[in-house]
Amino acid sequence: MSWSNNEQTIIDKINKKYNLDLKLCEEGFSHFDAYNDKYIVEIKIRKFESYHRFAKAGCFLEMYKYEKLCKYKNNRKMLYINSFKDGVIAIWDLQRQRFNWEVRVMKKQTFGYQNQQVEKVVSRLYLSSAVKFKE
């Protein structure tokens, strides 16, 4: 879903670095954050550094979000982008990833729901398999 969590800043940095011309999805409840003719993108802004143990253990991608990207990709590549507190941006091409889906109890949403816990099907994506750059 597209929330205004500074995704435009991340998109601007990626566009400048790779000349992709990504556009912010401004639809209220879209299942992706950015797009162009070649890519559909999910962006996560992490509240920790890229060298933090959470990042080293793998960044979670929810199966639900992956399936929504698949539904809307229309011959575009799917990218999963994580921006970290230390300025590192990691980009995964989801067609090149191997997924090891597992059920985990996690917060229902990053923000809200008073930390309500629910089961989610997720896979870890490791920084070693991402294209990374520091702003």
In tens, the pLDDT along 98-131 reads: 999 999 999 887 655 567 899 999 999 999 999 9
Other Cβ atoms less than 10 A from the Cβ of 130: the count is: 20
pLDDT of residue 72: 93
Strand partners, 124: 60
Structure token pair of residue 70? 């698949």
Residue 2, pLDDT above cutoff 70:
no
Taken in order of first residue, the domains within the chain and their CATH numbers are 7-134 (3.40.1350)
pLDDT of residue 1: 38
Looking at residue 36, its amino acid is: N
pLDDT of residue 28: 67
Diameter of the chain by CA atoms? 40
pLDDT digits (tens, 9 = 90+) for 38-85: 999 999 999 999 999 999 999 999 999 999 999 999 999 999 999 999
Q: Could you tell me if 2 and 27 are in contact, meaning their C-beta atoms sit under 8 angstroms apart?
A: yes
pLDDT of residue 5: 63
Q: What angle do CA 10, 12, 39 make, to 5 degrees?
A: 80
Q: Could you tell me if 45 and 127 are in contact, meaning their C-beta atoms sit under 8 angstroms apart?
A: no
Residue 88, pLDDT above cutoff 50:
yes
C-alpha R_g of the chain: 14
pLDDT of residue 130: 97
Structure token pair of residue 66? 């992956």
pLDDT of residue 110: 64
